[in-house]
Chain A
Amino acid sequence: MITHPRTEELAEAVGAWIDQIRPSLDPRNAFLARVAANAMATIGRELTLGPVAEARAIHAMAEVLGHEGTHGELNHALCGRIQAGEFTVETPGLLAALKVMARDQIAIDQPNYKPEGTPPPSAA
């Protein structure tokens, strides 16, 4: 990948421009523009955080399944084992692996989302 600019910088620049013109838009388009700016931010996060998240998911799935593969192959195999009823919530390591994958994905898609189990904000 070239670096001047990096792809995530292009996404950042487009997102900043959308934010800049938002105040001039009618309410519906202002709403859609906010969604579009969020999409650019998601693209930026996927570009920066995605490779590590994918490597971690591959490692976690391979561990549970007991064999290697690409992300797509392992994900497909994992879904198959669950659908067949061979893997359940009791399967050692399964929920822990899925939790790592879920946390990494939410960090890309919606870093401000507070999942179930998040403690209340501190009074400070």
Chain B
Amino acid sequence: MTVDVLATLPGLAQRLGGDGAHLAAAERLSGGASMETWAFAVDGPGGHEDLILRRRSAPFDPDTARSVSLATEAALIQATGARGAPVPTIRHLCDDADGLGEAYVMGRVEGETLGRRIVGDAKFDAVRGRLARQCGEVLVPIHATPPLPGLNLKVSDGEGELNRYEEVYRASGAERPILDLAFQYLRRRLPTPVEPVLLHGDFRNGNIMFDAEKGVAAVLDWELSHIGDPAEDMGWICTNSWRFGRPDRPVGGFGDYADLLDGYQAAGGRPIELSRVRFWQMLGSLRWGVMCLTMYLSWANGIERSVERPMIGRRVSETEADLVVLLEEGL
């Protein structure tokens, strides 16, 4: 289904702003491969409002994509926000009348999401040293949010994740010795089970809005939210694919493990061992490698013909280059 979003936004602007409201600006922000993000503004009787439209552009397949619906995503943002997590305000959940398919509108939060800028831009020099600790702190209210009834979030643990990604890897037909060795290695070192909690599921540099003065401004991109080991969210932000050229700073390319763990514990989170984070970090590289294979396959199978997809397939080797070092170092 192709939707002309630009042609649809004036109607949405009127619906949101009331009688006399009109669309003041609209621009597609380049971003994800399966999700579209549009910045737009509404001028109306109530004044000027800067908004973000998030809509799914690729077919929704809960089995392979693992994503939650955008309605669930909006519900999670509201629930974690109520617990004190920094998240945007949900403004409107789109319905059939909007003609935009699966989509919602949220208030625009000012800040930076481009990982490379947060890691390298001088603008963030002053705040950078505080970010890892803040990331630990903001995970606490997220993990403390009781999973909402009726959302049917997937529940998983280390073994479940390995099973899931190994199945996808085997089905792909790809033969990559480093991925095979990483699966074997992690299976032999499964962490002891813990009480599962609500996870953001994609908590990494790139999905967090940072302000150059106050640090974390909002946690975005909730589509992979699920229930599992709290160390999973920590390991993912430590995965080198999201350090943007600064592997020497393990947390997001901006901070150290100790700050992330201390921030979590100081804000009331249960203490988590570094080796447990490292397990999930390594599984993070492996998971990203398998996800890259999946993106290539979606192109090879004709589901998504964008040139972006096969090129992401060539990012498997970045995870192999990382995994082989992690296999040498150990957890």
Interface residues of A (CB under 8 A from B): 27-28, 30-32, 35-36, 38-39, 42, 75-76, 78-79, 82-83, 85, 87-89, 94-95, 98-99, 101-103, 105-106, 108-110, 112-120
Contacts and interface: CB of A to CB of B under 8 A. Distances in A.
Given A115-B240, A116-B322, A27 B177 contact: no
A79 B245 contact: no
Contacts of B30: 27-28, 30-31
Given A42-B314, A106-B321, A110-B317, A118 B247 contact: yes
Interface stretch (B65-73, B220-228, B303-311): B303-311
Interface stretch (B74-82, B178-186, B255-263): B178-186
Interface in B286-331: 306-308, 310-311, 314-315, 317-318, 320-329
B247 A95 contact: no
Interface of B: 27-30, 175-178, 180-181, 184-185, 240, 243, 245-249, 306-308, 310-311, 314-315, 317-318, 320-329
Q: Which 10 A-B pairs have the closest CB atoms?
A: A115-B321, A116-B325, A120-B248, A105-B317, A82-B180, A31-B30, A117-B325, A116-B322, A109-B314, A102-B321
A14 to B, nearest CB: 13
5 contacts: A89-B181, A99-B325, A102-B178, A102-B320, A116-B322
A71 to B, nearest CB: 11
A79 B180 contact: yes
A106 B319 CA distance: 9
A94 B322 CA distance: 16
Given A95-B324, A106-B317, A35 B184 contact: no
Contacts of A110: 314-315, 317-318
Contacts of B306: 32
B248 A98 contact: no
B307 A113 contact: no
A32 B307 contact: yes
A87 B185 CA distance: 11
Given A27-B30, A28-B30, A115-B325, 5 more contacts: A95-B328, A99-B325, A109-B315, A112-B245, A115-B247
Contacts of A42: 311, 314
Nearest to B29: A27
Contacts of B240: 114-116
B184 A27 contact: no
Given A27-B28, A98-B181, A99-B324, A79 B175 contact: yes
A89 B246 contact: no
Nearest to A46: B314
A48 to B, nearest CB: 16
Contacts of B315: 109-110
A113 B321 contact: yes
Nearest to B181: A82
Contacts of B246: 114, 120
Contact of A89 (B29, B175, B307, B327): B327
Contacts of B324: 95, 98-99, 102
Given A98-B177, A98-B178, A113 B184 contact: no
Contacts of B243: 114
Contacts of B326: 116
Contact of A79 (B177, B249, B329): B177
B309 to A, nearest CB: 9
A100 B13 CA distance: 56
A39 B318 contact: no
B177 A39 contact: no
Contacts of A79: 175-177, 180
